[in-house]
């Protein structure tokens, strides 16, 4: 049921990321007092598809409105500065709570959808726009999009979906303030989107040069396909997987490089 509702939300707003889907589904669930002593009821309550879909509409009164028009000024040699439109009116969401602050999130390529909170900005209803500066590094000329950013609003214990996304181009391997030279770690990320139909993206990182194998298996352990089977240098990588000829269900993907092995599940939902 949750997977189906997540697919519905994505059909209405493809800009949503996994964090948005989780927040909307959790925050719109209905939990009533009789569930407290019912051993068959647990979690955040009953999933309500209609409330989930309504929560995507500005002024929905269920969760706070999301910030709009996020932009970035990224001048080489300076810290990137982000600006977005102030959420109005200040009073938002069920219970009439006021916008308290904005949460700023960042993701590092190629894990574009693995966002972590890096900043918080207090809401000021008298301002037309709000801004935040990432002081952890300086912008480098050239390169590819490396840092991705989004912002959300927070009110009365609830968080909005995230804003539009902006990115900052940068050279891999630069010096980041307080961290020295940026290095890579072995890591296998959750595929995105998930559930998917029929295309999904798998991102992974390699710490040391070695033979990389990335395989897909069904639940019986039978190999479905081999996406990667080659020597790779340290770095971040991304590969697309098409399941157009496979049946709906749960599949396993496995990354093996040197002594590192990681396994995760993915859901094909037609």
213 or 27, higher pLDDT: 213
Q: Percent of the chain having pLDDT more than 90?
A: 38
- Looking at per-residue confidence, does 47 or 31 come out higher? 47
**What is the average per-residue pLDDT within 90-98?**
64
User: Is 37 in contact with 55 (CB distance < 8 Å)?
Assistant: no
The pTM assigned to this predicted structure is 0.63
pLDDT on residue 175: 39
pLDDT surpasses 90 at 73: yes
Q: Are 51 and 28 a contacting pair, CB within 8 Å?
A: yes
Per the model's pLDDT, the better-predicted residue between 164 and 176 turns out to be 164
Residue 117: pLDDT over 80:
yes
Q: What mean pLDDT comes out for the span 32-42? A: 63
pLDDT tens-place string over residues 175-185: 343 444 445 77
When pLDDT is averaged across residues 222-238 and rounded to a whole number, the result is: 89
Average pLDDT over residues 242-262: 93
Mean residue pLDDT of the chain comes to 84
SS3 content of the chain, % helix, strand, coil (to 5): 10, 45, 45
- pLDDT value of position 34: 60
Position 93 scores a pLDDT of: 64
Residues 27, 102, 91, 83, CA torsion sign? negative
- Compute the distance between CA of residue 56 and CA of residue 58 in angstroms, rounded to an integer: 7
Reported as a single tens digit per residue, the pLDDT across 195-208 is 899 999 898 888 88
CB 198 within 8 A of CB 212: no
Instruction: Identify the residue whose tokens are 């390169």.
Output: 143
pLDDT score recorded for residue 67: 95
pLDDT number for residue 176: 40
Of the spans 44-53, 81-90, 185-194, 211-220, which averages the highest pLDDT? 211-220
pLDDT of residue 229: 93
Helix (H) or strand (E) holding 23: helix 18-28
pLDDT given for residue 88 in this prediction: 84
pLDDT above 80 (res 92): no
């Amino acid at each position: 049921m949750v997977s189906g509702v997540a697919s519905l939300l994505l059909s209405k707003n493809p800009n949503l990321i996994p964090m948005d889907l989780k927040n909307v589904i959790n925050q719109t669930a209905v939990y009533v007092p009789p569930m407290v002593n019912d051993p068959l009821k647990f979690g955040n309550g009953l999933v309500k598809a209609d409330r989930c879909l309504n929560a995507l509409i500005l002024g929905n009164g269920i969760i706070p409105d999301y910030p709009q028009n996020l932009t970035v000024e990224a001048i080489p040699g300076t810290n990137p500065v982000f600006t977005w439109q102030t959420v109005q009116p200040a009073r938002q969401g069920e219970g009439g709570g006021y916008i308290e602050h904005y949460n700023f999130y960042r993701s590092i390529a190629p894990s574009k959808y693995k966002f972590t909170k890096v900043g918080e900005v207090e809401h000021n209803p008298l301002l037309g726009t709000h801004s935040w500066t990432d002081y952890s590094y300086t912008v480098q000329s050239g390169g590819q999009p490396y840092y991705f950013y989004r912002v959300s609003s927070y009110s009365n214990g609830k968080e909005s979906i995230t804003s539009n996304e902006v990115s900052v181009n940068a050279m891999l391997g630069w010096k980041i303030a307080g961290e020295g030279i940026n290095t890579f770690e072995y890591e296998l990320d959750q595929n995105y989107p998930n559930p998917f139909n029929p295309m999904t993206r798998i991102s992974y990182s390699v710490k040391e040069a070695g033979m990389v194998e990335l395989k897909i298996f069904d639940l019986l352990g039978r190999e479905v396909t081999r996406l990667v089977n080659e020597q790779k240098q340290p770095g971040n990588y991304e590969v697309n997987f098409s399941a157009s000829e496979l049946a709906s269900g749960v599949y396993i993907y496995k990354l093996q490089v040197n002594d590192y092995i990681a396994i995760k599940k993915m859901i094909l939902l037609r």
